[in-house]
Amino acid sequence: MSKCPKCSQFVSSVSLAEVNVNAGTKQWVGVSYSCPFCFSVLSVGIDPVALKSDTVSDVTDEMAKVRQDIAALRSQLATLLQQLVQR
Ligand SMILES: [Zn+2]
């Protein structure tokens, strides 16, 4: 079992808290893991669940843009084909 580096208690569980992680202009949802006895922060990291959710959301948004671009290109192609046929 691990010991807290500050209070030397054996730590079998940690307290979890949400924290903001600022990286320049970007902000991520992070989590901190604290000692349940003295509340010292043992570790901080990006929240993997929030990261996954944000990534899925970003990819979904990009796919919607690509679909719109493809629809616009199809429309332009149809117009060009009609112009070619009419010549
Ligand atoms: Zn502690």
For residue 51, the model assigns a pLDDT of 87
6 and 37 both lie in a single domain: yes
Claim to verify: residue 52 and residue 42 sit in the same structural domain: no
Could you tell me the distance, in angstroms and rounded to a whole number, from the CA of residue 27 to the centre of ligand 1? Answer: 28
Q: Are residues 40 and 52 in the same domain?
A: no
- Non-local (6+) Cβ contacts of 27 within 8 A are 20, 21
Measured in Å, residue 25 CA sits from the centre of ligand 1 at: 33
Residue 57 has pLDDT above 90, yes or no: yes
* Residue 34: count of CB within 10 angstroms of its CB: 18
* 5 and 15 inside one domain: yes
Q: Which residue has better confidence, 12 or 28? A: 12
In the reported structure, the alpha carbon of residue 33 is separated from the centroid of ligand 1 by a whole-number distance in angstroms of 11
At residue 1, the pLDDT reads 83
Ligand 1 mean position, distance from CA 16 (Å): 14
Same domain for 25 and 63?
Answer: no
Give the global pTM: 0.61
| Tokens found for residue 54 | 């944000």
Mean pLDDT for the stretch of residues 55-62: 95
Q: What is the pLDDT of residue 37?
A: 97
In a shared domain, residues 66 and 28: no
Same domain assignment for residues 54 and 41: no
Residue 21: per-residue pLDDT: 92
Q: Which domain holds residue 65?
A: 48-87
Stretch 13-27: mean pLDDT: 92
pLDDT of residue 14: 96
Q: How far is Cα 9 from Cα 43, in angstroms, rounded to an integer?
A: 16
